[in-house]
Chains A and B, each alone.
Chain A
Amino acid sequence: MKSKLIKNIFTIVLSSLLLIFGLIKYISSYYSENDGWGIDISFNSDYIVVILIGLIALVYGIYQLKQNQKNENNPLVSIYTGISICALVSFYPLGIFFKNLFKAISKNKAFAFNDYVGYLIIGIAGLIALGLFVGFLIYYFNKKKVKAN
């Protein structure tokens, strides 16, 4: 009970820090440019992912804290949280990598692979994590089904 409480408080504090860090970095990444045809107002969308992960983890931590107080356990929220964080960590970096790759190809420019290889690595790692998580879920629910029968 006490260890669960500590774990939940740790999750809440860590996710809050992540959220604040993401927000500060996101706001400071503001960039505006008028290219003569239109105005490009942009922010570094990488930090949106950081903010989202922080937000999801914060909601998860608060929810778990509430569940612990009631002595309840709902694995569905953990599943949702795991899948959404894995999906964010895998799909988003891969999207950024391919977007810049095809952008360079369509403009006949050399693709700066070294600048985006980090996205590719994080994306592949995220995909592996997502696969492992889904695999574990299938195993877990099959085991539960067998036990129930």
Chain B
Amino acid sequence: MKKITTKCLAEIAIMATLAFALDALQGGLFRGLFPNGGSIGFAMLPILIMCFRRGFLPGLLTALILSFLQLLGGVYVISNSWYMIILQLLLDYIVAYPLVAVAGIFYKTFQKSSSTKRKISILIAATCIGGFLKFLAHYLAGVIFWADNCPTDFLGGPLVYSLVYNGGYMLPNIIVNAIVLCILLVTLPQAFMVNVKKGENEDEKQTN
């Protein structure tokens, strides 16, 4: 089990705050395009950076803090039974961002690979997987809870409507974040590596 250092905890807190701020900005900018929620932007980026920089657990913690902050802003529940309310909260608020942190399972492969090309391909694959899992959570929530939002004459019904609506912002999200991550890797590779200084070696050894 990895030990999370104080420096790592500080990074988690800062990245979660950045993600929260970015999420608020993109949520506002895309309110007109996606009135029922969803947006395109870089809110996933701090989580993904933490996943590739520190690993799965720090990435997951960053995402969980972001989810918690979103939950603090208020919720809208449409179910009557308590277990459906819990399921809706899970899919809509709690699980969606932490699923992005699944990208962190590629951490060791990413850190071990020496060529930039290979690193880029890992980045893209991991971002796609994380993004797809987040999309899956939103898709399920759309089908189960928000089916009434589907126009009555929509071809394919809620199953297709949820796919089109949630795919409409998740696909650009994945593409945009993957591109920015690749640019960051080429221009600022230090963002993906933990700088080991003299005196910090013991600390880092414990982390790894």
Contacts and interface: CB of A to CB of B under 8 A. Distances in A.
A83 interface: yes
A101 B31 CA distance: 9
Interface of B: 10-11, 13-14, 17-18, 20-33, 35, 69, 72-78, 148
Given A48-B73, A103-B31, A106-B31, A56 B25 contact: no
A38 B76 CA distance: 7
Contacts of A101: 28, 31
A20 interface: no
A92 B25 contact: yes
Contacts of A26: 72
A105 interface: yes
28 contacts: A26-B72, A37-B78, A38-B76, A41-B76, A42-B75, A43-B72, A43-B73, A43-B74, A45-B24, A45-B74, A48-B20, A48-B72, A55-B13, A56-B14, A56-B17, A59-B13, A80-B10, A80-B14, A83-B14, A90-B21, A91-B21, A92-B20, A95-B28, A95-B29, A98-B28, A99-B31, A102-B31, A103-B31
A92 B24 contact: yes
B83 to A, nearest CB: 16
B41 to A, nearest CB: 10
A94 B25 contact: yes
A56 B13 contact: yes
Interface of A: 26, 31, 37-43, 45, 48, 52, 55-56, 59, 63, 77, 80-81, 83-84, 87-88, 90-92, 94-103, 105-106
A94 B75 CA distance: 21
Contacts, number: 103
Contacts of A37: 78, 148
Given A94-B28, A95-B29, A42 B18 contact: no
Contact of B27 (A41, A59, A80, A95): A95
A113 to B, nearest CB: 15
Which of A40, A81, A95 has the largest number of chain B CB atoms within 10 A? A95
Given A95-B28, A102-B31, A42 B73 contact: yes
Given A42-B74, A63-B10, A95-B25, A87 B17 contact: yes
